[in-house]
Amino acid sequence: MGEEEGMVGTSKSNDVKSNAKLTLLPLIALIFYEVSGGPFGVEDSVRAGGGPLLALLGFLIFPFFWSIPEALITAELAASFPENGGYVLWIQSAFGPFWGFQEGFWKWFSGVMDNALYPVLFLDYLKHTFPIFNLMVARIPALIGLTFSLTYLNYRGLNIVGLTAVSLAVFSLSPFLVMAVLSIPKIKPRQWLIVDFNKVDWRAYFNSMFWNLNYWDKASTLAGEVEDPSRIFPKALLGAVILVVCSYLIPLLAGTGALSSASSEWTDGYFAEVGMLIGGLWLKWWIQAAAAMSNLGLFEAEMSGDAFQLLGMSEMGMLPSIFASRSKYGTPTISILLSATGVIFLSWMSFQEIIEFLNFLYSLGMLLEFAAFIKLRIKKPDLHRPYRVPLGTFGVTMLCIPPAILLVLVMCLASLRTFLVSGIVMVVGFVLYPAIIYVKERNWCQFDSEQPFMPTRKDIEGHPVLSQQHEEIIDEASRGLLSSDLESSKTQHEYTEILSEGASKLD
């Protein structure tokens, strides 16, 4: 390996951690952009809901049934597995390497589809002022140019992305705070109660709600790049939940309360028109500029999550080691390029098509995460959990049931086309797993042969201790993905000697 690739591997992650500078505020901003990025794109919830009432109720109620449970689960598991890869590690620990790989593939594919939305949303806002972006001759080059430009910024470094996300969040939310203040004299509360059930599109409504309130677990894929993730992640998730919910409700309350626009007018990019009607042309331009900056932040945060997920999977031996190779800026170059290529191929789809496809795949992955969370509570009660959801096994099971029902509902509302496309993606994942094993067994590519990160408890001085629980997890991991070489008695003996040597050094 070269100097850059020498940082690959979980046992080598100490060098990476020593340079990690993602602290609380940048992490809150990154989670905010993973999930939301502001009210851009929530306009469809008013149209699909047949008026303001269902949209407002949705953003008041859905967080309790979906966002908060997912954030709590992410906080516990991200603190327990503070390494790149996030939920892939959780699933592998609970259900083994096959399902860990499937989880990684589904979530990466849905993440790339999600990222394809942001150049589309950016142009949807611009077309209200520049109609030329309705024409494919201008739209396609613009989409490609945006994707390459934003990908380059991501390549320049995660720390830059995190700090930039803070300033972008402030800039993107500022015009909506101004709009909310200006709307106060014009607000008529009775307009918040308007709903026409004959115009409600339940499929679009639930997909819009779900898309605007999911991806709380995405930031866990770059936990290895965060300073003290076990302590910071729970705090960052709490701050992000509050920020996201407020960023939706305040603009919706202002826009729907101050204007009597028909629900059919609330489509992607309509907040720019709302700003003009409430404050004037200057506010419209400010919101459009904020939309552009917000989409930059959304793209960067999602790209970081997708790329570091591939890096984590490579460190676990699930993908060739080239996916964990880093640039001089510490970013996983090949993983970024692969994710950007997927964005370009998917960005031709419409807003609603992308949302429905990615929601279906994301739902599959989340059902697996909820199941893994419960199983780890039962199977590994002594697992090192720096943060623990303050509920017992029965309590966390009850916590997972409402969001699980919502996930199934979103999947049941999907179109036949979505079932077909998602089925194809699942088949590809099932085929890729044995194909990658075949490639490694024949040494066609270089793979990281080291074992996945497993959490340990610590003694009173803060040093890691190999507990019985840890040894049991390692025994299971040794039977993991692409580790057929560890099944031989010789390699098992060498691995045991390494563990014994490490324990003796600690003594």
Query: pLDDT (tens digit, 9 = 90+) per residue, 410-422?
Result: 888 888 888 998 8
Q: What pLDDT sits at residue 3?
A: 40
Element (H, E) at 464: strand 464-465
Q: Please give the average per-residue pLDDT across 14-33, as a whole number.
A: 70
For 291-317, what is the mean pLDDT?
A: 83
The partner residues of 457 in beta bridges, in order of sequence, read 465
Give DSSP secondary structure letters for 183-204.
Answer: HGGG--GGGGG---GGG--HHH
Bridge partners for 465 per DSSP:
457
**What is the pLDDT at residue 274?**
92
Q: How far apart are CA 156 and CA 162, in angstroms?
A: 12
- SS3 of the chain: helix, strand, coil, percent, to 5: 75, 0, 25
**Contact call for residues 17 and 224 (beta carbons, < 8 A):** yes
The secondary structure of residue 451, as a DSSP letter, is P
Comma-separated ranges of CATH 1.20.1740.10 domains in the chain: 5-413
456-465 long-range contacts, CB within 8 A, separation 24+? 456/384, 457/382, 457/384, 458/384, 463/506, 464/506, 465/506
Q: Count CB neighbours of 484 within 10 A.
A: 12
pLDDT surpassing 90 at residue 359: no
Q: Distance between CA atoms of 323 and 336, rounded to whole angstroms?
A: 9
Structure confidence by residue, pLDDT tens digits, 386-416 = 889 988 989 999 999 989 998 898 888 888 8
Q: Per-residue confidence at 47, pLDDT binned at 50, 70, 90?
A: very high
On average, the pLDDT of the chain sits at 79
* CATH code of domain 5-413: 1.20.1740.10
Distance, CA of 427 to CA of 492 (rounded, Å): 33
Q: Could you tell me if 111 and 335 are in contact, meaning their C-beta atoms sit under 8 angstroms apart? A: no
Residue 244 banded pLDDT, cuts 50, 70, 90? very high
β partners of residue 84 = 222
Q: Dihedrals φ, ψ of 195, to 5°?
A: -155, 135
- CA 483-486-492 angle, to 5 degrees, is 155
Read off the amino acid at residue 459.
Answer: D
Report the distance separating Cα 205 and Cα 210, nearest Å. Answer: 9
Q: Is the pLDDT of residue 435 over 70?
A: yes
What confidence tens digit (pLDDT) does each residue in 117-128 have? Answer: 777 777 776 776
Q: Are 386 and 80 in contact (CB under 8 A)?
A: yes
Tell me the mean pLDDT in the region 34-60.
Answer: 89
Q: CB count, 10 Å around CB of 224?
A: 23
Task: Say yes or no to pLDDT of 196 above 60.
Answer: yes
What pLDDT score does 119 carry? Answer: 76
Task: Tell me the two tokens of residue 33.
Answer: 């952009």
Q: How many CB atoms lie within 10 A of CB 127?
A: 17
- Give residue 250's pLDDT: 94
Question: Given a cut of 60, is residue 456 above it in pLDDT?
Answer: no
pLDDT of residue 443: 86
pLDDT reported for residue 498: 41
Please tell me what DSSP assigns to residue 65.
I
3-class SS at 453? coil
Say if residue 91's pLDDT is above 70.
yes
State yes or no: pLDDT of 315 exceeds 70: yes
- Mean pLDDT, residues 271-288: 91
Cβ atoms within 10 Å of 180's Cβ, excluding its own: 18
Q: How buried is 172 (Cβ within 10 angstroms: 0-12 exposed, 13-18 middle, 19+ buried)? A: buried
